[in-house]
Structure 1
Amino acid sequence: MEEKTKQHVILLVDDEPNVLAALQRVLHKEPYEVLTANSGTEALILLAGREVDLVVADQDMPILTGTMFLAEVRRKYPETVRYILTGKASLEVAVDAINAGEVARFLMKPIDETEFRLVIREGLRQKDLMAEVRRLLQVTRMQSAVLDQLESEHPEIIGLVRELSEEQQLGHDVDKLIKAIQDELGHADHYPWLPGRRLR
């Protein structure tokens, strides 16, 4: 039975229902589960019970602004990709978002639908790549731990493996030396005493 591919989960956060509806429509045909929240507080409650891959949050929300909310997301869920959305082209807001929330993207309203879909895909792709890197690192650490345990419990086995590896390398080096001598002498068949040659 094939393992089912995990469906990505996107969380959209905005205090304007019409904006949330518009963003949902843009992602309607994409293969994601799309969740929505009307405030940063509501979004944090939702995040406490669900694993979310990517969050898009509006900057201009009451109580918890986008930067404040995303800073909290970074603290609690550092692997979640974070985008901020705003209608104000403010450099200060962008700097705050980067410094406080470590956002991957700063998106302007009104959004370009094609660009929005593309940046969502890119963010998810990067998240998947990082997850695979972490998985491989964990496997490497586990393998290293097993070898360390094996060496401590059975040092003779590890010693034998190392000895065989060294012998294999030595044999490889000897073969290279013989080949070099044969090449240097040119007519190697006149020197049947060289290892690796057959007498006729």
Structure 2
Amino acid sequence: MNKWLVTVSIALVFAASGAQSAGDAEAGKGKSTACMACHGPDGNSLNAQWPKLAGQHPKYIEKQIRDFKSGARKDPLMTAQAAPLADQDIADLAAYFSSQKKTMGTAAADKAELGESLYRAGNAGTGVSACMACHGPSGAGNPDANFPALAGQHAIYTEKALKDFRSAARTNDTSQMMQGVIARMTDAEIAAVAQYIQGLNK
């Protein structure tokens, strides 16, 4: 009986998410002017402090914008940008940026080996889970579970995001999964895996 209830609950969650307004990429392009200054016209930011949005799963982009709007994720600049957006605006922007092709980077040679080991196998000695368990061997993420695509993301941005999860400056991850994983990672491990992700080409 309990298994049946869990199955039904999961199905209802996916059905609800599917019932949201579909995004229009062309409309999103027209609404993206304010986003371009930081994230680039095609979602490939030139400043490594700001994330690439190109090719990211639309539902993940939508969740982040809504979290900025609600205060569940905190950033003064993004909160101000998200505040006036209606649900359809958010869906349209997500559709546009997800339809763009992400540019890929390269990993720092002195960090790539450790980064790959952590990404693919974790650290059994300290209980750090492998990143690919949720984000996939190629860094493509898992759209059904709303786990983001990581491949090619700026190392500087990824490193900050991971440290924010570790310090609980960022807490909008599902069931605090990321906080639990990152709590056991050292600064050196975070830097290495961020570099590996930057150079991870699908």
Q: TM-score, normalised by structure 1?
A: 0.23
